[in-house]
Amino acid sequence: MSTPILTAEHVGKIFTARGADSVVAIQDLSLTIDEGEFVCLLGASGCGKTTMLNIFAGFTQPTSGRVTLRGRPILKIEPRCGMVFQSYALFPWRTVLGNVEFGLQMQGVAAAERRRRAERFIEMVHLKGFERHYPSELSGGMQQRVSLARVLAADPDVLLMDEPFAALDAMTRQTMQDELLTIQEASRKTVVFITHSIDEAMILADRIVIMSARPGRVKTILANTLPRPRRADVQLSPAYAALKAEVWSLVQAEVLGHAEATRLRSD
């Protein structure tokens, strides 16, 4: 029987700004994520995907409802949830090794041990030999590998990934997807991954959570039964085409419905 690791229970989030209307970003969203699961959040821009990820990370608190990690409420920044951002968020004055060691240093890990662990994950993301390089000396794909190694070295229970490959070229993006799957399958880390790409969600996810247009709610959850290991050639299969058509119809209906509702409000 699967064990839940993350839960969202009737979560709502309202943003308010002085002199402006309140924005209901998320409304009555409930979701359970099991240990070792790879879940992709998919939906139109502005549907609350990043807001939900930030709530899981403890960067912001819900206006209503609650979120838990292993049954305990997340009430502040949660170090057991490691975040990989779309921007690389590296320290430009630190080398690759220094960036990967940073989280361990903040945890008070001794110098020799954090060096050992950092070097292990640098090798895992195929950056061995670049330990002394600075971020400005690396390609975008290499910088994102450093970000991933830094989070993995800190050994969080959950990886929260906010469109981490969106800025990469198609070939590098595919390579990073393959490597992330290899790492996740070996470590069995729980991953919550935001994407706008249906293909990316289908390559990566055990389950695809399709969110409604704002205010964000869980519209549908689809199990991804495509066989693993998944590589680019899986996209040629009839099963892939059928699932993609189903996902696209659900996303398209939500986007078109939101556009029509917006038009009616403005008339």
Phi-psi sector, 24: left (phi>0), alpha (psi -120 to 50), beta = beta
Domains of the chain, CATH where assigned = 4-80+156-266 (3.40.50.300)
pLDDT in tens, 140-180: 889 999 999 999 999 999 999 999 998 888 888 888 998 99
Q: Which of 104-113, 120-129, 230-239 has the lowest mean pLDDT?
A: 230-239
**Is 267 or 8 the better-scoring residue by pLDDT?**
8
Residue 257, pLDDT above cutoff 70? no
Q: What distance in Å separates the CA atoms of residue 156 and residue 115, rounded to the nearest whole number?
A: 18
Q: What is the pLDDT of residue 82?
A: 93
Percent of the chain scoring above 70 in pLDDT = 94
Q: Where are the alpha helices (DSSP H) in the chain?
A: 49-57, 96-106, 111-124, 140-153, 170-187, 198-204, 238-266
Over the chain, what is the mean pLDDT?
90
Percent of the chain scoring above 90 in pLDDT = 66
Q: What is the pLDDT of residue 20?
A: 74
Residue burial 195-220, b: 16+ Cβ < 10 Å; e: rest: bebbbbbbbbbbbbbbbbbbbbbbbe
Residue from 171, 172, 180 nearest 140 by CA: 172
What would the 3-class secondary structure string for 154-196 be?
Answer: CCCCEEEEECCCCCCCHHHHHHHHHHHHHHHHHHCCEEEEEEC
Residue from 245, 219, 257 nearest 31 by CA: 219
Q: What distance in Å separates the CA atoms of residue 10 and residue 30, rounded to the nearest whole number?
A: 5
Q: Is residue 85 very low, low, confident or very high in pLDDT (cuts 50, 70, 90)?
A: confident
Residue 130, pLDDT above cutoff 60? yes
Q: What is the pLDDT of residue 49?
A: 93
Q: In what order do the strands lie in the sheet with 72-73?
A: 23-34, 4-15, 64-69, 72-73
Q: Is residue 1 very low, low, confident or very high in pLDDT (cuts 50, 70, 90)?
A: low
Q: What is the pLDDT of residue 162?
A: 94
Q: Is residue 25 very low, low, confident or very high in pLDDT (cuts 50, 70, 90)?
A: very high
pLDDT in tens, 29-75: 999 999 999 999 998 888 899 999 999 999 999 999 999 999 999 99
